[in-house]
Structure 1
Amino acid sequence: MSLRGRIKCIKDDLDGRSSDVQESNIRLNNYHGVVSTLAANLVGPFMGIFAVRLGASNVQIGLLSSAPAFVSLLAMIPGAKFIDSRRDKKRYTAAFMLAHRIFYLLLAMIPFFTPDRRAALLVLTLAVMNLPGAISNVAWQGFIARVVPPHRRATAFAERNRLMNVIGTLCILVAGRALDIMTYPLGYQIIFAVAFAFGALEIWVFRRLVVAPDGAAEHNAADIPVGRFAATLLRSVRDDLREFRGKWSFLRFTLVSLFFHFAWQVAWPLFTLYQTKELGANNLWISILHLSNTGGSLLGYGFWAKYMERNGSLKTLFASTLGIFIVPVVYAFSRDLLTITFFNVITGIIFSGVMLALFNSLLDMTPEERKTTYIGYYNTAITASAIFAPMAGVAMLELWGYRPAFLIAATLRIMGSLAFGLIYLLEKRPEKCNTDNAS
């Protein structure tokens, strides 16, 4: 397609004039991914260095992950059930997205406070902003499962992730260099304000998505009044837990994902501390590390999408997670940023499969009816690990130092991958039994 044709296609998609709703939705989902990653990558990758510049302690660095995770833990189940009780899920999802993006402006105001309060205010702001952020994330996952049909998910989300990685990394490179050039804290304040502008554009693009005819049944039901929803919430949760007793596939997948995410997240604050305090990484180096990781992802997404189409999401999840132990091992024995940059290409190839397979496996393992609610319970479970894992990582660092902590994290990651392999075998066995019975 020519450049003029692509521009016309984008314009038709955004104006709602495309004749093929399904393909237009997939392209709109790509556009949404691009602007959302522009907003997120102007904030997230630099938050660790921003915290250090604000004078954050090691414990506060750990709280950058744990505090938002705790808020998510409280918000996702009520939020998911609330979204499922609404007719116009898209409108409420967009509203929670906007509430989350507004906090980017609040981040820009933190340097105006006295130095002794800035780090604590950063932790508090990141925690509170995750209330609408967690709900909007769960709502988007449930909504997009209705927009993109199962047979298109592998290639559609691989393409979306590929675009997000390319644009996001270019964004990080430009922002990282800009932050190093501009004076502190003005540079961060400008970057956060630009992030809010992209966040507003992201919501506008999201609103262009159209629920396909076979997913529009949700508009037939009436909204549950907010007061009645709140009054019956606890009873509804108890009913859900009883219902889950018969959902063994969902329960197994959730429990294994809980362990896997703990193993994955335990080293996250250690990476930030090691890069900045031991190896002296500045904003430009953080950008370079992201660039090398993205280069690997671009190589990996095409391979993993084809692998998933042939083998399914669970087998892809097992195969891709086998190599994630490499990351903490490299950090355990690396003494310079160049070595980490080189291995980031390899880990980018690996993690492209992990991210693609995790999301597709989640959509496959949750029932179509009340999908947002199931996703809310799943995300609540794995978010529990994000509360304790970073603090556990910091504790291991304080007790034993960097190398033992990284090696323990690598061992846990191997165990998590093997657990996914067991899930794959358990899920495959009923299929084999059904095949034998049919023959």
Structure 2
Amino acid sequence: MQSPAEQALQNEKNSIFNGVASTIVMSMSNNYFALFAIGVLGATNYQVGLISSLPQIVGMFAMILGTVIMSRLQEKKRFTGLSILFTRFFLLSMFLVIYLPQEYRAWTFVILIGLMNLPGSFAMLSWQSFIGDLISDSRRSGFFSERNRILTIAGMFTTLVIGIGLQWFDKANPLPYQILFILAFLFGIVEVFYLNKHIEQKKQSNKVLKRVKFGWDAYKHKPFIYFLICGLFFNFAWQLAWPLFNIYNIKIAHMTGFWISIITVANQVGQIISFKWWGMMSDKHSNAKMLAITAIGMATAPFLTILSTNMYYLTFVNFTSGLFVSGTVLLLFNQLLEVTLEENRSSFIAQYNINLAIIGFIAPQVGVFLLQMSSINTAMNLAAGLRLVSGAVFLVFYYYMRKQYFRSTVASVPRS
């Protein structure tokens, strides 16, 4: 029988292996969805926008259903593993898209990406709640910053190898993408294997769990509400530019699969060298304060991107962007866990992700709409401006959290 400390160490080790496999899957598939859609399937700007937004609206409905399911689970590991496995099966379907009549290929691919997020959202929701229960508050910043650093290194090497390999094929050749989809599915099996090696303590059923239906109780907790508002505003500004980056890089800068890999690797290098720093700074200054800084840093990416189509310049811009992406990923997740209540964490996470899914559907469509109505420069600059404003919004949230902390500290001081 392992001690709690040994179990915690084993869970952290398995979480890293599970995350590495998951990162390899994403590096082999998601990173090249847009390139496959545009270069091989001939997708339109609208369809490229849907690649970013359709999964979000599907995810919204999945989160509502997932909230009900999660509130009744005493063990989350099995549900998480099955959700991941079903998600990876969609990669096999993508392998077959090229054999459809040409007029149906792009739309079928876009729909498959959207539907894949049904089990994918179950997996994300259950994993966040699952790992939040396994990793103690005191270990979160240190462990997740190190975990994210290792995962990003794995993604960087995977992407670099893929980029080199894609040079051997014409950009309209579907074969390399089909190979990637099959390999990604196989690594998905490895991902599930290491997830199942986690040690989870079975929770006893209680009245609180039985009472949970759709997680509306999360809105009674003010810190969560304020974080939700700030997080949604930032994510709108962040995701507004996602399809714009794909369109700019592929249609305007004319990037090949090799250069898509290079800029992705540059972004990941920026993340690798900064993850640990963001973790230390969040421990020193709080997640909320550092989120304001990351939001301001993220505002530079859209503005700097449109200044040139030079590949080396865009590689540098993606490197600097990665310095702030690492902080965004780490701090948003840590802050979410910080404003949730442990006894009903899955409800908070579900409500956050449901609202995030709505924003995730709207924002890319707004980005494409702005592009159609104006120009890529105008759309990108507006995205940069909104990201800058979100930094100020997070700063207001930081002062609110600091005020709450001082109130709780004063209230806990014994009176004579």
TM-score scaled by length of structure 2: 0.94
Q: Deviations over 1:373-419 (max 9, x none)?
A: 21011011111111111111011111110111111001100111211
The residue aligned with 1:12 is: none
Kindly provide the amino acid, as one letter, of the partner of residue 38 in structure 1.
I
Match of 2:15 among 15, 29, 52: 29
How far is 1:317 from its partner?
1.7
* Alignment partner of 2:121 out of 128, 134, 139: 134
8 Å contact from structure 2 (residues 292, 390) kept in 1: no
Asked if the contact 2:218–2:351 (Cα under 8 Å) also holds between the matched residues in 1, the reply is no
State the distance in 1 between where 2:21 and 2:164 align: 20
Q: Secondary structure at the match of 2:254?
A: coil
1:74-85 to 2 correspondences below 5 Å = 74-85=61-72
Query: Residues of 2 paired with 1:297 and 1:128: CA distance?
Result: 30
Q: After superposition, give the CA deviation of every residue in 1:117-167 in whole Å (9 maximum; x if it has no partner).
A: 000000110111110001110100000011111111111111111111111
Q: Aligned partners of 1:285 and 1:18: how far apart in 2?
A: 47
Residue type of the alignment partner of 2:339: M
Secondary structure of the 1:323 match is: helix
Question: Is 2:268 aligned against 1:294?
Answer: yes
What does residue 64 of structure 1 align with? 51
User: How much has 1:291 moved relative to structure 2?
Assistant: 1.2
CA distance in structure 1 between the partners assigned to 2:8 and 2:317 by the alignment: 38
Q: Tell me which residue corresponds to 1:167.
A: 154
Question: Any residues of structure 2 matched to 1:48-59 within 5 Å, and which?
Answer: 48-52=34-38, 53-59=40-46
Aligned to 1:39: 25
Structure 2 partner of 1:5: none
Counterpart residue number, 1:210: 199
Q: Which amino acid is the alignment partner of residue 411 of structure 1?
A: G
Q: Is residue 110–residue 121 contact of structure 1 (8 Å, CA) maintained in 2?
A: yes
How far the C-alpha of 1:436 sits from its partner, in A, is 4.8
Does the CA-based 8 Å contact 1:293-1:344 persist in structure 2?
Answer: yes
Partner amino acid for 1:174? V
Q: Which residue pairs with 2:351 in the alignment?
A: 377
Residue number in structure 1 paired with 2:205: 221
Encode CA deviations 1:145-191: one digit per residue, 9 max, x unaligned. Answer: 11111111111111111111111011112122323324621211111
Give TM-score scaled by structure 1 length: 0.89
- Amino acid in structure 2 at the alignment position of 1:431: Y
The CA distance in 2 between the partners of 1:280 and 1:424, in whole Å, is 41
* 2:167 counterpart SS class: helix
Q: Which residue of 2 aligns with 1:185?
A: 174
Q: Give the whole-Å Cα distance in 2 for the aligned partners of 1:203 and 1:17.
A: 25
SS at match of 2:342: coil
Aligned equivalent of 2:278? 304
Q: Measure the CA separation in 2 of the matches of 1:157 and 1:100.
A: 24
Q: Distance in 2 between the 1:141 and 1:323 partners?
A: 26
Describe how 1:406-417 pairs up with structure 2 within 5 A: 406-417=380-391
How much does 1:18 deviate? 11
Spell out the pairing of 1:29-428 with structure 2 (5 A cutoff): 29-52=15-38, 53-182=40-169, 184-211=173-200, 216=201, 218=203, 220-221=204-205, 236-237=213-214, 240-241=215-216, 243-428=217-402
Deviation at 1:104, TM superposition (A): 0.7
What is the one-letter code of the residue matched to 1:175?
A: I
- Secondary structure of 2:220 counterpart: coil
Q: CA–CA distance in 1 between the matches of 2:189 and 2:95?
A: 16
SS in 1 for 2:306: helix
Report the alpha carbon displacement of residue 67 of structure 1 after superposing the two structures with TM.
0.9
Q: Check the 8 A contact 2:218/2:347 in 1, yes or no.
A: no
Identity of aligned residues (%): 30
Deviation at 1:46? 0.5
Pairwise CA RMSD of aligned residues?
2.1
One-letter code of the match for 2:310?
A: D
Deviation of the 1:78 alpha carbon: 1.6
Q: Which amino acid aligns with 1:339?
A: Y
- The amino acid that maps onto 2:302 is P
Contact 1:80 1:139 survives alignment (8 Å):
no
Count of residues paired in the alignment: 408
Q: Which moved more, 1:77-86 or 1:18-27?
A: 18-27
